[in-house]
Amino acid sequence: MFTLDNVVIDGSNRVDHAIAADASCGAVIKDSVVRNFLGWGMAQTAFVASTVVRTRISGGTRGIFHQLSGLQLEDVTITGASEAGLYVIGGSTSCSPCVLSANGVGLDQRGGVVSFAGGSAITDNTGAGIALAGGTLAIGGSGPSGVEIAGNGAEGIIVGTSPSSVPYNASSLTLAGANVHDNVGPGLRVQNPFGPSGSPGVVGVSGCTFTNNGGANLRVDDSGVRVGADPISLRVNATTFIGSAHAVWLAGTTSSAVALSGSTLRDATDTAMLIEHLSPAWHVRLTGNELRHNAATTPRAGQLIGGFFAHSDAGWPADFVFEGNSLFSNTQHQMGLDVAGVTGPTSVSISFGALGCAGPANSFYCYANAPALSAAKGLVVSAGSNVTLSVDAGAANWQNGLSTAGLDDQLISVGACAVTGSACGGFAPMCPN
């Protein structure tokens, strides 16, 4: 073990790695500055844990490289690393807090366990703020002390791949109380947390705020389906999505298992929640969410739908839950279900809730942000040729109290479709601001 206290290490662009803690030699570094090196500011490859406190590391290719044992970072700032501020392939890394700013990537994690406490900031990196290609990452904190992930040149967080496209492993992410905003790419992008071996990875998001990220606040290319009693691999709860083209965009063509509950999706510019390629292998559970004041600019199945739109190419998943959601004051129609991509002859059945009005009812109102009768509807359904679509929409409140397709609350856009189920009673909608 060696100690550096109140030391300035200036490589003057000649030193490869500034500090090496290897073999059985850990380090304690306090109140120091490490700068102007060519390679790594610090390499933690020792079997003995190291601690870095109130220290600034700048320049080089990697601010800190961590492979083995423990590494505790307290009030550490890493800037100006061309590849990654913090590069982790193993061991356990604790940041309480850390600032990773103006690097190639803030955190490049390919293994190990990493945690960020409240007060940390991953901002203004030229690539992704965080690239999680393996291991377990926990980001915590709440309110003013939450972690900020903002202004990065690609995704705020990308799960399942890495900047240099190396083979990736199972990735698990817990994101709590974070403020993810104004990144050039999506705030959170999930590509494949399972890794090539199919081993399980889980992404959990709770109590976060996503605002004005590029393309979508949350984009899912493939979250995968877990093996066992609980198939859900991406679970989002009590999270607010503000702005962006889409609040939540399930863009993948392969199977995903997503649960979204108790969250608010508002002020998106082109459909709040968009699912592009549903199939029977998917699992989608949406409960108790609020979708409001979202716009629509791109027609979906020939219609403008501001709230929620799902399209299927190959049939509807049996595990599709849509209960207790409120969709209101969105541009034109509130919700669209489309099976035009399914080839017939076949039939597709969709149900809003097995318990009907005895369970948590969905509410559709203030179509086109107005309480009066108009061309805008609560639900639009469409099907392709030789396909019969049946929607049981009984577990719902409707602006005009109706549940008969083709009247004031639903629209059959294309194809042989039927909307059934009695509307729930006692609903008196008002258009909130």
Domain count, the chain: 1
Which stretch of 153-157, 341-345, 348-352, 386-390 has the lowest confidence by average pLDDT?
A: 341-345
Q: Chain-wide mean pLDDT for the chain?
A: 86
pLDDT at residue 175, as a whole number: 96
Domain annotation covers residue 148? yes
* 74 in a structural domain: yes
Lowest mean pLDDT segment, chosen from 164-173, 327-336, 412-421: 164-173
Residue 426 domain flag = no
Cα angle: 181, vertex 182, 187; to 5 degrees = 55
Is 39 within a domain?
yes
> What pLDDT is recorded for position 373?
57
Which residues, in sequence order, are CB contacts of 65 under 8 Å at separation 6+? 40, 42, 43, 44, 45, 87
Please say if the pLDDT value at position 27 is more than 80.
yes
| pLDDT higher than threshold 70 for residue 141 | no
Q: Is the pLDDT of residue 372 over 80?
A: no
**Residue 250 is assigned to a structural domain of this protein:** yes
Assess whether pLDDT exceeds 70 at residue 103.
Answer: yes
414 inside domain: yes
Q: What is the pLDDT of residue 354?
A: 67
Name the pLDDT band for 345 (thresholds 50, 70, 90): low
82-92 mean pLDDT: 96
Among residues of the chain, what percentage have pLDDT more than 90?
A: 52
Average pLDDT over residues 34-61: 90
| Of residues 396, 432, 427, 402, the one with CA closest to residue 308 | 396
Residue 178 scores a pLDDT above 70: yes
Mean local confidence (pLDDT), 64-86? 95
Judge whether 141 lies within some domain: yes
Can you tell me which residue has the tokens 């000649």?
A: 14
pLDDT band for 288, please (50, 70, 90 cuts). very high
More confident residue, 405 or 63: 63
Question: What per-residue confidence (pLDDT) applies to 64?
Answer: 94
User: Is residue 292 scored above 80 in pLDDT?
Assistant: yes
What's the domain range around 161?
Answer: 2-420
pLDDT of residue 374: 64
In this predicted structure, the answer to whether residue 169 has a pLDDT above a threshold of 70 is no
- pLDDT-derived band of residue 357, with 50, 70 and 90 as boundaries? confident
Q: What is the pLDDT of residue 143?
A: 45
* More confident of the two residues 347 and 105: 105
Mean pLDDT of 287-295: 96
Q: Who has greater pLDDT, 230 or 120?
A: 120
pLDDT at residue number 286: 95
Please give the average per-residue pLDDT across 177-188, as a whole number.
Answer: 97
Confidence of residue 335 (pLDDT cuts 50, 70, 90): very high
Q: What is the pLDDT of residues 392-429, one digit of tens each?
A: 877 788 887 655 444 557 777 666 777 777 677 767 67
428 located within any domain? no
